[in-house]
Chain A
């Protein structure tokens, strides 16, 4: 059996990749996907901890995270469609109507 530590390391790597993609990617959809990646890294951590601790509440947490992520995706994709209609572009660097 794979030790729990490996799962936690994997979850940390996925989370880190999510952050890197969020910062460096330019397409809004890709940025949105990187957020989903981060949320799934969190889910993996919850499931692992739940297994290690022998408690079920971590897995319940995962269900809630999935539901909330779905709600967020619904709203987020709506906003992205709105942006696409206004700009005909999904490049974040062009979202510069308001500047410092």
Chain B
């Protein structure tokens, strides 16, 4: 029996991303113009973002309950779609500068985005696995897209080896859960018999997903991969897969009967070591891309604090935080991608000295994103941290809230150092300003707008994310 029409509408963004990616690959031999590919990719990703409205209008399960549309999946599909759109918008000039082929690049971003959307809306483990792999395999290729650069090749290799290693853990976790519950549907996973097997399965699953969100002690690949990958791709990595994997984790820990309760302590430990690993690591770095990579480890730690809290405010905080974080990280990496110059040679801290005199607007935008990552009021990052604090305190995790505060102070050191370098330090040598092309300026403007808007009016998102029917059913 062919599934009814509305089931296709429920997964429309995924279909558009898959179809768009395939179309780009098919057109590759016939079109020679970079602009044509960029416009096609932009149109495709914009259509996908708009089509999220269509999946929002048809909530419910699709394809025998394997996948579905509910407010949470709509939120994450929108986030992933917007991230893909902004990355594509910002990468056209980068691809031209580094003379990289556009068609495959955009197609891979489309496939990765499709995978992330699947991950965010999967209701069953096999589907989640396929989504995870769609996004991971595309990411491995994207990480090594600058084939001439030995660093990019090494980054792709590290990502590939550790990513597949993590996938094996994820799968073994699913196997044990399947064996002990007799099903792979997330919401139906209740143990058939008491015992260690389901817990072990869930723990392995958690290890696999911790790799993907870069939570310590499974974060070692992150700085190297982020440094070696082309910067627009780094922007995608830091915002997209992280959001989608956290979406799956949320779904597992909200819906799965097995996952209730006792996991708080595990998340407590994961959150603390992740925060410290990220922030202390960032203190020692002089490469701006690596600083931002370590900072994204730290942010995974902050989000895990909300998981440790495991209450309704925590769920809303995760959604809001991922949105705020994506806007700030995308903006920051877009600045670095452009200012890095040909071959990404100028991404050391010293290269940013005196940026405020050379390019005041770029320096101001970069500072805004850094302040949002730091969590200063009037930026979205502030409310993100605020709600995570609130969630931790609501669950009486005073110690964890204090450690979160300590970490924010450590983080202030390296974010503010970057800002001070841009505003106060004189450049060592005379460097020409690199004017931003219109498309990148648009990306920065949109990210800055989102950062400030959600920093002033967080209520819409929080109200949306506090919906008790966030996860279907």
Contact = CB atoms under 8 A, between A and B. Distances in A.
A82 B179 contact: no
B126 A98 contact: no
A72 B167 CA distance: 11
A13 interface: no
A82 B284 CA distance: 31
A55 B153 CA distance: 43
B461 interface: no
A17 interface: no
Interface residues of B, number: 38
B178 A46 contact: yes
A79 B175 contact: no
B184 interface: yes
A83 B153 contact: yes
Contact of A95 (B158, B168, B182): B158
Interface string A44-86: 0110110011010110110011001001100110111011001
Contacts of B284: 100
B129 A68 contact: yes
B348 interface: no
Contacts, number: 113
- Chain B at the A interface: mostly helix, strand, loop or mixed? helix
Nearest to B182: A53
Contacts of B228: 97-98
* A-side interface size class: 35 or more
Nearest to B281: A100
A64 B164 contact: no
Contact of B164 (A76, A83, A95): A76
A86 B153 contact: yes
A38 B223 contact: no
Nearest to A35: B164
A28 B161 contact: yes
B150 interface: yes
Interface in B256-315: 281, 284
Contacts of A100: 223, 281, 284
A60 B126 CA distance: 9
A18 B169 CA distance: 11
A14 B97 CA distance: 47
Contact of A57 (B153, B171, B184): B184
B92 interface: no
Contacts of B376: none
B374 to A, nearest CB: 23
B344 interface: no
10 contacts: A18-B168, A38-B165, A49-B175, A58-B175, A72-B137, A76-B161, A79-B156, A87-B150, A98-B151, A98-B224
Interface of A: 8, 11, 15, 18, 22, 28, 31-32, 35, 38-39, 41-42, 45-46, 48-49, 52-53, 55, 57-58, 60-61, 64-65, 68, 71-72, 75-76, 78-80, 82-83, 86-87, 95, 97-98, 100
Give me the 10 closest cross-chain CB pairs, A-B, nearest first.
Answer: A49-B179, A38-B168, A45-B175, A42-B171, A98-B224, A86-B150, A35-B164, A82-B153, A68-B133, A79-B156
Interface of B: 126, 129-130, 133, 137, 140-141, 144, 147, 150-151, 153-158, 160-161, 164-165, 167-168, 171-172, 174-176, 178-179, 182, 184, 223-224, 227-228, 281, 284
Given A45-B176, A95-B157, 9 more contacts: A32-B161, A35-B165, A39-B171, A61-B174, A75-B137, A79-B153, A80-B157, A87-B150, A98-B155
